[in-house]
Amino acid sequence: MPSFLTGICQHEGIQSINGPVIVKLNWKGTDFKVGSWGKDSALGTKLQDHYWVFPANKDHRTLETFRLYASYKKMMLYFPIMEFNLRGKKDECENCGQGGGVIFYNGSFFYNCYDSRALCKMDPNTMRLLRKDLEANDPTSFNDIFSYKGVKYQDMDMAGDEKGLWMIYGSSKDNGNVVIRKVDPNNLKAGRLWTTTQPKKEATNSFMICGVLYATRRVNATHEEVFYYYDTNTAQEGNMRIFIEKSLPTVQSLNYNPNDENLYMFNDAYLVYYNVTFKNHMPVISRGGQVAATAEGQNSARMGEQNVVNNQVQADASKQDQITDLVSEGGSNANNKIGHKTGHAVVRRYTKWE
């Protein structure tokens, strides 16, 4: 089996998305359909073995409670490092977030602050929360104005990749088209932005890889399609066709991780991941100076597999949508008796984007 270098951008974009691997139901249960999960998306992070799960409340909006796990095994056993609650001591939710656009990057969570046009950063180690309000002339949407199709309150979608931390949103100034913006993870300062021609409300979700935005849309109840890309490196955009199999109809969030080149999906309360295969991905070189295996050979084989899937999906797309019921997992009750601690956040506020 050939090995490839991860965390570098010496490839020619996505060739296929292989999976899904259905991991489990989120710890709160089937009523908590909205949320996000994955691993730390900062390249080279010290927390590469840690997993996080952040389901929204039953209102499909409020981000209040999340868990961190020290390993995959502990996540499977519902045994967290800590369980955190963003509701303040006065039982107010001013430190909470909203929507499934949250991401864990370099040891902190980044998300749309609840009921506001602001970005929040929460460090679970210190429980200190930084908040930066968008200035009035920046038309970033919030409160379900330009969310994705089929999901609510994901106006601001945070993403991490090999190039850094990103914010993806819809702008009223640009008629609701997707806007991509770099964000400094240290001070939440927004950098350069790129405006696309893709309406955000026509996409079901998106993610970033090597500075390239990839947007998805629904094909039917069992498949999504990566149909659009925007390359911030070249300011070029276009259409493509890569299919993603899913077990339940709605993609609530998608997060790419450059450390393992996996794509993490929160799929109607279930945690699912996929392996991303790239075109002409640079292979690992052995000590003897020989290529361990050619990227071309593996890519050709996987392209053949993807073509079979694509043909089948296109044939199924004309049929009535059907969904296969998932077998309910044991031990998924939110009231599992496990030892955990809770934390409450304190807040520092920035008044506007600089």
Looking at residue 25, its pLDDT comes to 97
Q: Across 7-11, 234-238, 294-298, which has the greatest mean pLDDT? A: 234-238
Q: Which of 197-206, 284-293, 329-338 has the lowest mean pLDDT?
A: 329-338
Q: Which of 163-177, 190-204, 216-230, 292-306 has the lowest mean pLDDT?
A: 292-306
Is the per-residue pLDDT at 214 higher than 80? yes
Q: How do residues 241-258 score in pLDDT, each as one tens digit?
A: 999 999 999 999 999 999
> Rounded to whole angstroms, what are the CA distances from 7 to 124, 186, 257, 348?
25, 21, 9, 33
Query: Which residues is 177 bridged to in the sheet?
Result: 199
Q: How do residues 20-62 score in pLDDT, each as one tens digit?
A: 999 999 999 999 999 999 999 999 999 999 999 999 999 999 9
For the chain, what percent of residues have pLDDT higher than 90? 64
Is the per-residue pLDDT at 129 higher than 60? yes
Q: What is the DSSP string of 13-37?
A: SEEEEEEEEEEEE-TT-TT---EEE
* Dihedral (CA of 127, 122, 210, 274) sign: positive
Looking at residue 43, its pLDDT comes to 95
Q: 3-class SS at 305? A: helix
Q: How do residues 135-157 score in pLDDT, each as one tens digit?
A: 656 667 889 999 999 999 999 99
What are the sequence ranges of the domains in the chain?
Answer: 14-341
CATH architecture for segment(s) 14-341? 5 Propeller (2.115)
Report residue 174's pLDDT band, with 50, 70 and 90 as the boundaries: confident
Write the CB contacts of 216 (distance below 8 Å, at least 6 apart in sequence). Answer: 203, 204, 205, 206, 224, 225, 226, 227, 244, 251, 254
DSSP H or E stretch at residue 341: none
Write the CB contacts of 78 (distance below 8 Å, at least 6 apart in sequence). Answer: 27, 331, 332, 336, 338
Report residue 325's pLDDT band, with 50, 70 and 90 as the boundaries: very low
Report residue 122's pLDDT band, with 50, 70 and 90 as the boundaries: very high
Q: How do residues 272-281 score in pLDDT, each as one tens digit?
A: 999 999 998 8
pTM above 0.85, yes or no: no
Q: How do residues 51-62 score in pLDDT, each as one tens digit?
A: 999 999 999 999
